[in-house]
Amino acid sequence: MTMQSTLASLRDTNARYGMFHAMTEDTDAGDAKFLFSAKDNLTSMDMETCAGSRILEGYHPNFDATAIAKMRAAGGKLIGKTNMDEFGFGTFSANSAYEIPRNPFDLERSCGGSSGGSACAAMAIEDHVSLGVSTGGSICCPASFCGVYGIAPTYGRVSRYGLIDYGNSLDKIGILSTKAGDLRKYIGVMAGRDEKDPTSCVQPELRSGMVRVKSVAVPKDGIQGLSKDVESTFKASLEMLKSMGIDVEEVDMPSFKYAIPAYYVLATSEASTNLARYVGMRYGMQEGDLSLKFDDYFSSIRSEGFGDEAKRRILLGTFTRMVGYRDRYYAKARQVRQLVIDDYKSVLKDHDLVLTPTMPFVAPRFDEIERMTALESYKADYLTVPPNLTGMPHMSVPCGYDGNGMPVGMQFVADHWNEEVLFSMAEDWEAGFELRRPSA
């Protein structure tokens, strides 16, 4: 497909999969060098930006997020803003005030979340890459469910300027694509220190060239609780890695199982402060009754504008930060976070990468998701949350398909600033792996 024909059929593609919240009106590729889309929590000048929330309806930012600006400067044309869980709160992109994207391999199933629209677009639109954001797994999870490659780079590698924050100490902008080589290429485009984001780092440059991966470590807790299909596909992938000359060793990572509770304390604490700015005055929804006292006005807008999951997280996060509880929850969770980092650091002294499946099951059907409790869906992230807590770069790589043809992904984690090891691993794997695209 040419860029021109992709643009001409964009509306039809979206009608089928529902990946876009907003789309470009301009169907002329002009002198664009490549097409890209971006998760709808990245501000974009020419398209409404709502981050999946009703409360931001009508928000047209007057600036581009740095990541989007850099992609445009490299010749990219932004074709759409992708549907997502409200502010990134979710695992299936179903916690949204807007359209829920449908999995390209089975329209009755989820694309994963919270960057579900991005993974869907990366799979369904040829020769196109999509920007996603991960706080606790929101790039790897949907990449795995939609059968594409997805990377969350080292925290601080890509500027967060223009990103609508979920958890500032965790959020990372990354890339999803059907081609492993695109990850190296476009992280390279977006990386770098940015004056406008003090948490973006002066950083070691991304080196080109291949790194030979000699050994990967598989944490024992990372291979518990898997569905049969994921377990057998993952085992077969380990054999494949061995046949590529890579040592595979099971290791103990005692902190692994504490990552989920620590993450949900830290992430909701940060989210609850970030959401305080949405009061119907500066961005988005403003049609409240201005004759009310100001706090009644704020409450009325917030009651209407936030979805259930956002409200749950405001309550949880406010509780964990309260005087009297802070030490028991927030401070404790920070200590656990350090233990998780120490565990990864010590394993990565002797191994190039840590490896687990990305998700414990393949993309679930929407009726299955409806029956899940909040806790069940939080727990589904037990493989993606640990690397996110560490700030280390991690990548989901498609590694097989179950009996229904649904994709399975595996997740590699490298030490801080060692993205090259991930890129090399993915490119080597890609050479021997037959990636499937859904039949249209």
> How many helices, marked H, and strands, marked E, lie in the chain?
15, 13
> Please, which residue, 6 or 135, has the CB nearer to ligand GLN?
135
Rounded least distance, CB 117 to ligand GLN, Å = 13
> Please, which residue, 237 or 388, has the CB nearer to ligand GLN?
388
Distance CA 45, CA 24 (A): 11
Please report where in the chains the tokens 């990967």 appear, as a residue.
216
Rounded to the nearest 10 degrees, the angle between the axes of helix 259-274 and helix 332-350 is: 130
Rounded least distance, CB 274 to ligand GLN, Å = 12
Binding site for ligand GLN (CB under 6 A): 88-91, 114, 134-138, 166, 267, 381
> Please, which residue, 22 or 380, has the CB nearer to ligand GLN?
380
Complete DSSP assignment for 74-135: TTEEEEEEE--SGGG--SSS-S-SSPPPEETTEEEEE--SSSHHHHHHHHHSSSEEEEEEES
> Please, which residue, 82 or 138, has the CB nearer to ligand GLN?
138
Copy the structure tokens of residue 126. Answer: 């040829």
> Please, which residue, 88 or 222, has the CB nearer to ligand GLN?
88
Q: How far is CA 408 from CA 146, 217, 262, in A?
A: 8, 19, 27
Residue type, 260: I
- Are 37 and 121 in contact by the 8 Å Cβ rule? The answer is yes
- List residues with catalytic annotation: 39, 114, 138
Distance CA 148, CA 128 (A): 12
H/E element, 334: helix 332-350
Rounded least distance, CB 123 to ligand GLN, Å = 19
Rounded least distance, CB 91 to ligand GLN, Å = 4
Rounded least distance, CB 435 to ligand GLN, Å = 24
Rounded least distance, CB 359 to ligand GLN, Å = 11
Per-residue buried b or exposed e for 113-122, using 16+ beta carbons within 10 Å of the residue's own CB: bbbbbbbbbb
Q: Tell me: cis bond preceding 9? Omega within 30 of 0 counts.
A: no
> Please, which residue, 191 or 359, has the CB nearer to ligand GLN?
359
